[in-house]
Amino acid sequence: MMPPIHVLVVDDEDVVCSNVIAFLEDEGFDVVSASSGEKALDIIASKKFDVGIMDMRLPGIDGNTLILKSHELQPDMKFLIHTGSTNYNLPRALTDIGLSENNIFQKPLIDMGVLVDAIQKLVKGNNI
């Protein structure tokens, strides 16, 4: 049996967060959640993750900063952006560390299956 894939879900909206965790756990992922960027960084500092699913609009540090800092902590960690913002533009800093439009998932997601596909592609080292 393959070692479990470790996923960190960061969202200040508890309902969203818990639903994503529920879905991913059902799909067999090792999922940890955080309700803010700061908390997420604490967790990342102590535990290794394969993929982080980040909300952008967060209390405290925003999603972009979180991703950059997480990347600094764990350079192998991949990221998916799960945002409700309609006018989100991918900053240059994030594209520099390998993110693209395809890493962005617009809320509301009708089928979380797309997240599962994206995580698996990232873990395999593929672009989405």
| Site of interaction with another protein (CB under 8 A) | 13, 15-16, 19-20, 22-23, 25-26, 57, 84-87, 89, 101, 106-112
What CA–CA distance (Å, rounded) separates 19 from 88? Answer: 23
Q: How far is the CB of 24 from another protein (least distance, A)?
A: 10
What CA–CA distance (Å, rounded) separates 114 from 1? Answer: 24
Q: State which residue, 87 or 126, has the beta carbon closest to another protein.
A: 87
Q: How far is the CB of 82 from another protein (least distance, A)?
A: 8
The answer to whether the Cα torsion of 41, 58, 82, 94 is positive or negative is negative
What CA–CA distance (Å, rounded) separates 52 from 121? Answer: 13
Q: State which residue, 16 or 40, has the beta carbon closest to another protein.
A: 16
Q: How far is the CB of 49 from another protein (least distance, A)?
A: 21
